Amino acid sequence: MVDRVEYDEFGLFHENAEEFGLPFDGPPVVRRVAVEVAPGRRLSALVWKDGEPELVLLHGGAQNAHTWDTVAMALDRPLVAIDLPGHGHSDGPGARPDGQLNIQGNAIDVAAAVRQLAPAAAAVVGMSLGGLTTIALAKEAPELVRKVVLVDVLPGIKGERAKHITDFVSGHPSFSSLDELLKWTVQFNPTRSLSSLRRGILHNAEQREDGTWVWRWARHRFEVPSSNSGPEVVDDTLYDGLWDSLASITVPLLLARGMRSDSVLGDEDEEELRRRLPSAGVVHVAKAGHSLQGDTPLELAAIIDGFVFGG
């Protein structure tokens, strides 16, 4: 008999609050919605609080909308966190049904979702793959992008800088148990607490009928010939035009860059940003690596609030 692990998607927020010292007098107002972005295909999203959403949050590859939970709680504003195509609870990508990355396809789908869920949002915040998608979105649907926050990403990330990420997401197609999945995750996230990693796994993986576990994004890739590349691995052609698209952005843009060794950006990337878009702002976050929303969520929330709302 398979030992099933119970999971309540909206029952873990007290852990976020406790870990980061946020006030908690009951679960926040959050609901999951799904919107059709193409015939027969839907994107899923978390809608935080009542009222017109003020922000759109886009996660990185191999992540999902719950990666923003602590940031959203700290911001305490109406917002939408979207599961990118092929991630979380969203359907697989339309342009690439094999589950591989397609940043332009992401932007088209996200534009359709934002038009329905947050057409008046003050800013789009994108981390890693979500940041590249945001750049493409600004060209695809500029009327939906009023300010941009890029979280530790710029076009043309060099493969060696992201090796620790690709090694993690490419390691195993499935896991025999939650404990095995947790042990694997701990190896690549030594600075995170066990409770936060377990919480992240429950949001980002699912237990199959035979008791094994698979990442939610990986369920779209079972029939794809192995290429030893996870969803953060992209060939250079996928970056074609993204620097030009970024340079053409006319709305305020801020890069929040993690400064630990596990960031994927180097000084040369930041210099290229300043050369291509002199108006861009840059904030360095000393204690964060690539995933600022996980390493320093309160600091990231303050950065977003200050840049977007002047708070």
Residues involved in catalysis = 128, 152, 290
At how many degrees (to 10) do helices 178-188 and 194-204 cross?
120
Q: Cα separation of 269 and 302, whole Å?
A: 24
Closest among 15, 4, 3, 17 to 200, alpha carbons compared? 15
Task: Please check whether residue 214 is in contact with residue 178, taking contact to mean a CB–CB distance below 8 angstroms.
Answer: no
- Between strands 213-215 and 205-207, the pairing is antiparallel
Q: How many helices (H) and strands (E) does the chain have?
A: 11, 10
Where is 238: in which H helix or E strand? none
Residue 243 backbone phi and psi in degrees, to 5? -65, -40
Beta-bridge partners for 56: 80, 124
CA 248 vs. chain centroid, Å, equals 23
Task: Kindly list the strands in the beta sheet with 281-285, ordered across the sheet, starting from the edge strand earlier in the chain.
Answer: 30-38, 41-48, 79-82, 55-58, 123-127, 148-151, 253-258, 281-285
Helix, strand and coil in the chain, % to nearest 5: 40, 15, 45
Give residues with Cβ within 8 angstroms of 88, minimum separation 6: 44, 59, 64, 65, 66, 204, 216, 217
CA 67 → CA 63, 178, 204, distances in Å? 7, 19, 9
CA 18 vs. chain centroid, Å, equals 22
